[in-house]
Amino acid sequence: MIRRISFPHVQLSLNFKDVEDAKELVRAIKRKPKVALEASTLLIKSEGIICVSLLREEWPDAFIIANMGFLSDIDLECEVVAEGGADGMMASHFKSTEDLKAFIRGCEKRKLLPYLDIDSPNTITMIKEVKPHVIILHKETLDAKIVNKAKELGIKVGVRGIKELEEVRTWVEKGVDILVIGKDMVRSLDALLETV
């Protein structure tokens, strides 16, 4: 089944060691629209890719991204994520643009939406050459120039590291498509969703 997510949306990073804690949070947000779930690297390392299907038990039609972090075997890890039931796959710390392209091909082959978590001084050069579907940057490295270039290239842009509700409106006004939040921002989820 191919699930879709609309843009803009909020991406809830489930940065837990125990899947039961993540499931409890998923139950608490009551299947809100415009929310995607991110199985964090910590959660996947702790519980395995099965955590995706365990999260899906709580929210069957959720759009779930598996954040795999650094990939050692790109094609194999894309296969594992797809078999685990994720809808998207996030990875970071690529050694070359060829690895980036291999990641995108591996995701597309398996109908996964590829997310690049990038933190590079060469972000604009990288996205011009590779043209990923989605890029996620930390708020400290994301600027209007990157957002504008990404928009020009048809790339969706996400920002992580948001700690305050007041920051949200600023990022939405700058054209960000995805607001990545952690468990500490869940109490503000309803107010966040009003801005996207």
Quick one: pLDDT at residue 1?
Answer: 58
Listed as ranges, residues in the chain with pLDDT below 50 are none
Q: How far apart, in whole angstroms, are the C-alpha atoms of residue 27 and residue 89?
A: 22
pTM of the prediction? Answer: 0.93
Task: Please tell me the predicted confidence (pLDDT) of residue 140.
Answer: 87
CATH architecture of 9-195: Alpha-Beta Barrel (3.20)
The pLDDT value given to residue 106: 97
Q: What's the confidence (pLDDT) of residue 94? A: 85
Give residue 121's pLDDT.
64
Instruction: Give the pLDDT of residue 2.
Output: 65
Tell me the C-alpha distance between 144 and 131, whole Å: 18
pLDDT, position 49: 97
Domain spans in the chain, listed from the N-terminal domain onward: 9-195
C-beta separation of 147 from 176 below 8 A:
yes
Residue 183: predicted pLDDT: 80
